[in-house]
């Protein structure tokens, strides 16, 4: 027989209750008639038993007839699969289809932005397809270990610490990942193969910064059905979160050359428009033709007839990259021009005009990349040229609010420092600035050598997507080669 839970005690006394039998329930002492004994409260403060969380193994359901049935609970992973999200090899297959879709969208956008002809666009598409297939074959020729790492990464939350055996910073594993920047790098390598138009890395970076080539925002271009199947880790590869301004695009070009197992040989004359464009449209130097010919003669002395981009993993791969190497040549020629006074114009006036030109030729999409000094200069320009000159004391409250948003005065079209609205006006401003500076042949004030060097390195490193320190290292490498000329 089961042991009785009742025990004897003093008479209850509640409402003349005569019960002497009690039992304990939830820490309360209750008589057989349901009266709670006052002051008889037990508190279990013993921590000898661990708290155990249990869950129902089977889910009880009732059908239309009132019968009960028990079915096993659906696990968390099974629920995720029911929602449509896939993992492992299946997720990798969906991701490859998704990024192939992104490749087609990026290619069409680049063709549209640069205005390729139909024949060139068709040839470029065939080359991109061939390179894309070769890259996929090289990347996914790995073993099952990479799939285990992928599975670990998919199931790990962004802020969760990864397993000790999974080293996500391993270069070999990183080379097996394809993201949105790889897509752009493959398209650019295809452009270098066809060489139908003089398009350079600086042009690609400029279009990325202006959002003409989708890079920061790309998820809206991909069908929602495909995105819903992918884990979040793949979303982060389809849409990047920062601009490639720290040699990322050059590293991706090297990585994809390694995947394709080939090198690119490009004749020097392909980069002649690049040299002239940097001198005239970026540095706006009035003596651009003379500097261009000087650069040409220097390249002949260096015996450089072509550039070879090898799939090297060396940390010095930037030194021989065409755009960066030629930028160092331009810096050297520019410094030489100012030192020997071959420029025949004021270096101080050139620096001032270049800063004004950069301020006026920037577009609103690049405002977030402006430095504090540039933002202050722009605010000063607005205050001097746009803000209503009427005294605030004479304005009504409504007018004050309106003039904080809009400028109701007619724009003075004859003002030389007005903001450039389109690219045609931008080019026109370049030539006007060159003509204006060319007329001022007498150098009244001279900028210091440090100011000139800082401006040259900062301007060119910005358009090339590298840091000033990296450009200085490349410049030192080029100077060593120049000193070897006999």
Question: Using CA atoms, how far apart are residues 136 and 99, in angstroms rounded to an integer?
Answer: 11
SS3 category, 404: coil
Count of beta carbons in the 10 Å neighbourhood of residue 67:
8
User: Under a CB-based contact definition with an 8 Å cutoff, are residues 246 and 401 in contact?
Assistant: no
> What's the pLDDT score for residue 88?
80
Burial grade of 238 (CB within 10 A; 0-12, 13-18, 19 or more): buried
CA-CA-CA-CA dihedral for 147, 153, 156, 160, to nearest 10: 140
pLDDT at 267: 92
Rounded to 5°, angle at Cα 330 from 328 and 336:
105
| pLDDT at site 191 | 93
> What is the maximum span of the chain, computed from C-alpha positions, in angstroms?
123
In 3D space, the residue among 353, 360, 403, 410 whose CA is nearest the CA of residue 380 turns out to be: 360
pLDDT at position 240 is: 84
Q: What is the pLDDT of residue 220?
A: 84
Nearest 5°: CA angle at 100, between 98 and 103?
115
Question: What pLDDT is attached to residue 49?
Answer: 54
Q: What is the DSSP letter of 261?
A: T
What the block records as the tokens of 88 is: 């492992």
Query: How far is 407 from 386, CA to CA, in rounded Å?
Result: 6
Rounded Cα distance between 420 and 443, Å, is: 28
Query: For position 421, what pLDDT does the model report?
Result: 47
pLDDT of residue 330: 93
**The model's pTM:** 0.66
- pLDDT on residue 325: 93
Q: Which of 102, 257, 264 is nearest to 175 (CA)?
A: 257
Per-residue pLDDT tens listing for the chain (486 residues): 455 588 888 888 887 888 888 888 877 888 888 888 776 555 455 555 555 555 545 555 555 554 555 565 555 555 444 467 778 888 888 888 888 999 999 999 999 999 888 999 999 999 999 999 999 888 876 544 455 545 555 544 444 444 333 333 445 545 678 888 999 999 999 999 998 889 999 999 989 888 888 888 888 888 888 888 888 888 888 888 888 888 889 999 999 998 988 888 999 999 999 999 999 888 888 888 889 999 999 999 999 899 988 877 666 778 878 999 999 999 999 888 888 765 566 777 778 877 877 776 654 445 555 556 667 777 777 767 666 555 555 667 776 666 666 554 444 444 434 444 455 555 556 556 555 555 544 445 566 778 888 888 999 998 999 988 999 999 999 999 888 876
DSSP result, 100-112: HHHHHHHHHHHHH
- Structural contact between residues 72 and 59, judged by C-beta atoms closer than 8 angstroms: yes
The first and second tokens of residue 119, run together, are: 């024949």
State the Cα–Cα distance between residues 401 and 170, nearest whole angstrom: 56
Count how many Cα atoms sit within 13 Å of the Cα of residue 389 in the half-sphere of its side chain.
4
Region of residue 16 (phi > 0: left; psi between -120 and 50: alpha; otherwise: beta): left
pLDDT (0 to 100) of residue 380? 75
Nearest to 106 by CA among 198, 222, 235: 222
């Amino acid at each position: 027989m089961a042991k009785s839970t009742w025990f004897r005690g003093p008479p209850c006394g509640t409402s003349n209750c005569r019960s002497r039998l009690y039992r304990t329930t939830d820490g309360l002492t209750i008589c057989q008639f349901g009266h709670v004994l006052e002051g008889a409260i037990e508190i279990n403060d013993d921590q000898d038993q661990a708290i155990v969380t249990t869950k129902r193994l089977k889910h009880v359901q009732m059908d239309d007839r009132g019968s009960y049935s028990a079915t096993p609970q659906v696990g968390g992973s099974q629920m995720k699969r029911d929602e449509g999200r896939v993992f492992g090899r299946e997720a990798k297959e969906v991701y490859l289809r998704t990024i192939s879709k992104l490749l087609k969208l990026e290619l069409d956008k680049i063709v549209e932005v640069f205005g390729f002809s139909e024949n060139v666009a068709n040839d470029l598409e065939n080359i991109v397809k061939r390179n894309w297939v070769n890259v996929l074959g090289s990347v996914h020729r790995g073993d099952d270990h990479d799939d285990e790492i992928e599975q670990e990464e998919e199931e790990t939350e962004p802020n969760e610490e990864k397993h000790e055996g999974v080293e996500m910073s391993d270069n070999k594993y990183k080379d097996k990942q394809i993201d949105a920047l790889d897509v752009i790098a493959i398209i650019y390598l295809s452009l270098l193969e066809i060489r139908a138009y003089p398009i350079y890395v600086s042009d690609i970076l400029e279009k990325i910064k202006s959002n003409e080539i989708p890079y920061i925002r790309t998820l809206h271009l991909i069908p929602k059905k495909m995105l819903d199947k992918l884990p979040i880790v793949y979303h982060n590869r389809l849409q990047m979160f920062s601009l490639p301004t720290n040699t990322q695009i050059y590293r991706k070009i090297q990585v994809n050359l390694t995947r394709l197992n080939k090198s690119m040989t490009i004749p020097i004359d392909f980069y002649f428009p690049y040299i002239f464009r940097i001198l005239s449209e970026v540095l706006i130097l009035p003596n651009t033709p003379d500097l261009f010919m000087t650069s040409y003669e220097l390249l002949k002395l260096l015996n450089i007839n072509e550039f070879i981009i090898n799939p090297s993993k060396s940390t010095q791969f930037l030194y021989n990259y065409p755009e960066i190497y030629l930028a160092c040549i331009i810096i050297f020629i520019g410094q030489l021009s100012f030192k020997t006074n071959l420029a025949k114009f004021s270096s101080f006036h050139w620096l001032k005009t270049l800063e004004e030109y950069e301020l006026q030729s920037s577009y609103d999409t690049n405002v977030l990349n402006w430095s504090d000094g540039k933002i202050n200069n722009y605010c000063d320009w607005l205050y001097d040229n746009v803000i209503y000159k009427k005294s605030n004391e004479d304005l009504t409250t409504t007018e004050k609010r309106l003039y904080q948003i809009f400028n109701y005065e007619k724009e003075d079209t004859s003002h030389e420092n007005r903001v450039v609205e389109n690219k045609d006006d931008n080019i026109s401003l370049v030539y006007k600035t060159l003509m204006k500076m060319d007329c001022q042949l007498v150098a009244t004030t001279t900028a210091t050598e440090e100011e000139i060097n800082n401006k040259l390195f900062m301007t060119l490193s910005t358009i090339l997507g590298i840091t000033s320190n990296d450009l200085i290292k490349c410049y030192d490498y080029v100077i060593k080669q120049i000193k070897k000329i006999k």
